[in-house]
């Protein structure tokens, strides 16, 4: 039996518009539509493979903004426990409620059934009735497919099936999620190109940036103690260190310039730390909070994107690219498609793939006219913001909540939303649920 194409059976599928048609304009803030009023009453339930208190990125930026007007429940993947299955619920300063399922190892293959029961108890306890299901991981379908959301959104920020340790069933679950979703958002152009023909309402929302936050790095900030004693020049990378990083490139470049200090800020995951290149001039500083990042960036001479070119990076659109630029740093990257276009093509990022070329690009970057580069960067970033991305996403969710999906079938028309610009493209304790309320500091 074919699944209903939307979050609830009976809702009509989006109707394609003629080529070149524009979406309905955003509602004015002082005159909300009926759909906007309806959507504001909805709770948001996000299913994520990422931990809220891990690296602060797209989910945190967007869901913190949703939490300004909605109750937001951020459901993480389960952790192992020796006791009974339960939910740990904690509220962040942004208002987001982080929900962590605790499952005993003995549940085995019944994990989805147990999580489904916990979710039902959460909904009953917190009186969640009308809600948006917001997926980052298709694997969450295993314990949520029985739910009846008002709107279903798949915010596809990575091609997870190509990542190391991806579950074998991920592709099938994603195919099912495409059938159930009302809206599909993609985190980059390459993902949009790969997904736009799989659903009638796919919308491109590339990585955005909190310019005010990262532009603090252009000021004279106090040096973090673990970076203060490092010599100059400093070349830095900010982000997760995993199978996507080109470790050979990092080692080769560090050997070629032993007087340069190579600073790596971020957690090491899915790879053995023993496999990391070890040199006197390579410094692994570990995970830092989102608030700390500008101070590290302020002390760098060049910011790096040393990604390997493999299956796991084929569809990535690094959020750190516009963050580096907002920080005022020259950037050198390997030839990742969503970095080459648009950043490389606009001369905002230097592209190099070998240690020799990477070093040469970094040397050229350090000789750039800073004022001229910043003028170009600021002009490019002027139309980019997470507020703008969230506003556009909200308009689309409002439209589905009101039942006017036909005016928002961007993929069928070949139009993609790019932070406000339409561009043609080819491309919730009771009944067994234990709720622990606490408010830790928000970190990444």
* Model pLDDT for residues 184-235, shown as the tens digit of each residue: 999 999 999 999 999 999 999 998 999 999 999 999 999 999 999 999 999 9
More confident residue, 422 or 213: 213
The pLDDT, as a whole number, for residue 130 is 96
Given the candidates 3.40.190.10, 3.20.190.10, 3.80.30.20, 3.40.50.2000, the CATH classification of the domain at 34-208+386-424 is: 3.40.50.2000
Output the CATH code of domain 211-381. 3.40.50.2000
- DSSP three-state, residue 285: strand
- pLDDT for 143 beyond 60: yes
The Cα–Cα gap between 419 and 90 comes to: 31
CB atoms within 10 A of CB 345: 11
The Cα–Cα gap between 431 and 277 comes to: 51
Q: Residue 338 has which token pair?
A: 């969503």
- DSSP three-state, residue 46: strand
- pLDDT for 380 beyond 50: yes
- DSSP three-state, residue 207: coil
CA-to-CA separations, 357 to 235, 280, 324, 349, 412, in angstroms, rounded: 15, 22, 20, 14, 41
The pLDDT, as a whole number, for residue 312 is 85
Per-residue pLDDT band for 166 (boundaries 50, 70, 90) equals confident
Domain ranges of the chain: 34-208+386-424, 211-381
User: What is the torsional sign of CA 117, 119, 123, 126?
Assistant: positive
> For the residues of 88-130, what is the DSSP string, one character each?
EEEE-TTS-EEEEEEEEGGGGGGHHHHHHHHHHHHHHHTT--S
- pLDDT for 239 beyond 80: yes
More confident residue, 162 or 93: 93
The pLDDT, as a whole number, for residue 405 is 57
pLDDT, averaged across the chain: 85
The Cα–Cα gap between 156 and 206 comes to: 11
Q: Residue 211 has which token pair?
A: 């310019």
- pLDDT for 272 beyond 70: yes
The Cα–Cα gap between 101 and 422 comes to: 40
* Model pLDDT for residues 298-329, shown as the tens digit of each residue: 999 999 999 999 888 999 999 999 999 999 99
- Are 265 and 296 within 8 A, CB to CB? yes
- DSSP three-state, residue 303: strand
Q: Residue 336 has which token pair?
A: 């990742």
The pLDDT, as a whole number, for residue 40 is 54
What mean pLDDT comes out for the span 89-118? 96
- DSSP three-state, residue 157: coil
Per-residue pLDDT band for 33 (boundaries 50, 70, 90) equals very low
Q: Residue 52 has which token pair?
A: 């809220």
The helices-and-strands tally (H runs, E runs) of the chain is 16, 17
Location of structure tokens 């982000």:
239
The pLDDT, as a whole number, for residue 404 is 62
CB atoms within 10 A of CB 233: 16
The Cα–Cα gap between 298 and 289 comes to: 15
- pLDDT for 436 beyond 60: no
- DSSP three-state, residue 153: strand
Q: Residue 3 has which token pair?
A: 């699944």
Domains 34-208+386-424 and 211-381 equal at CATH topology level: yes
The Cα–Cα gap between 157 and 34 comes to: 30
Q: Residue 406 has which token pair?
A: 């036909």
Phi and psi, residue 204, nearest 5°: -85, 120
The Cα–Cα gap between 20 and 423 comes to: 10
The pLDDT, as a whole number, for residue 164 is 66
* Model pLDDT for residues 354-375, shown as the tens digit of each residue: 999 999 999 999 999 999 999 9
Q: Residue 18 has which token pair?
A: 């003629």
The Cα–Cα gap between 137 and 132 comes to: 15
């Amino acid at each position: 039996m074919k699944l209903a194409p939307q979050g609830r059976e009976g809702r009509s599928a989006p109707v394609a518009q003629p080529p070149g048609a524009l979406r309905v304009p955003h509602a004015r803030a002082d005159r909300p539509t009926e759909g906007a009023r309806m959507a504001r009453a909805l709770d948001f339930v996000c299913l994520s493979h990422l931990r809220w208190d891990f690296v602060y990125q797209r989910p945190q930026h967007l869901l913190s903004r949703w939490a300004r007007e909605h109750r937001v429940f951020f459901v993480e993947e389960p952790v192992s426990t020796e006791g009974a299955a339960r939910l740990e619920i904690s509220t962040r300063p942004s208002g987001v409620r982080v929900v962590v399922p605790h499952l005993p190892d003995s549940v085995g293959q019944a994990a989805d059934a147990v999580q489904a029961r916990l979710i039902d108890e959460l909904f009953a306890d917190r009186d969640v009735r009308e809600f948006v299901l917001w997926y980052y991981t298709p694997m969450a379908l295993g314990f949520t497919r029985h739910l009846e959301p008002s709107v279903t959104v798949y915010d596809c920020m990575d091609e997870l099936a190509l990542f190391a340790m991806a579950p074998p069933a991920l592709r099938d679950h994603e195919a099912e999620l495409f059938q159930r979703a009302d809206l599909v958002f993609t985190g980059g152009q390459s993902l949009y190109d790969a997904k736009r023909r799989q659903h009638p309402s796919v919308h491109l929302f590339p990585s955005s940036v909190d310019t005010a936050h990262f532009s603090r790095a252009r000021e004279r900030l106090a040096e973090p103690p673990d970076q203060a004693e490092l010599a100059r020049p400093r070349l830095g990378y900010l982000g997760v260190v995993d199978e996507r990083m080109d470790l050979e490139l990092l080692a080769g470049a560090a050997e070629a310039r032993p007087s340069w200090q190579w600073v790596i800020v971020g957690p090491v995951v899915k790879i053995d730390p023993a496999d990391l290149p070890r040199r006197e001039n390579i410094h692994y500083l570990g995970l830092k909070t989102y608030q700390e990042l500008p101070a590290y960036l302020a002390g760098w001479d060049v910011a790096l994107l040393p990604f390997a070119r493999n299956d796991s990076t084929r569809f990535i659109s690094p959020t750190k690219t516009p963050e580096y630029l907002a920080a005022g740093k020259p950037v050198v990257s390997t030839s990742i498609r969503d970095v080459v276009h648009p950043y490389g093509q606009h001369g905002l990022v230097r592209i190099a793939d070998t240690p020799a070329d990477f070093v040469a690009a970094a040397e050229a970057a350090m000789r750039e006219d800073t004022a001229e580069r910043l003028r170009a960067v600021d002009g490019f970033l002027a139309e980019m913001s997470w507020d703008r991305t969230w506003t556009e996403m909200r308009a689309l969710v409002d439209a589905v909540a009101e039942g006017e999906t036909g005016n928002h079938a961007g993929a069928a028309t070949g139009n993609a939303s790019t932070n406000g610009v339409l561009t043609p493209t080819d491309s919730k304790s009771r009944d067994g649920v234990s709720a622990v309320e606490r408010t830790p500091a928000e970190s990444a």
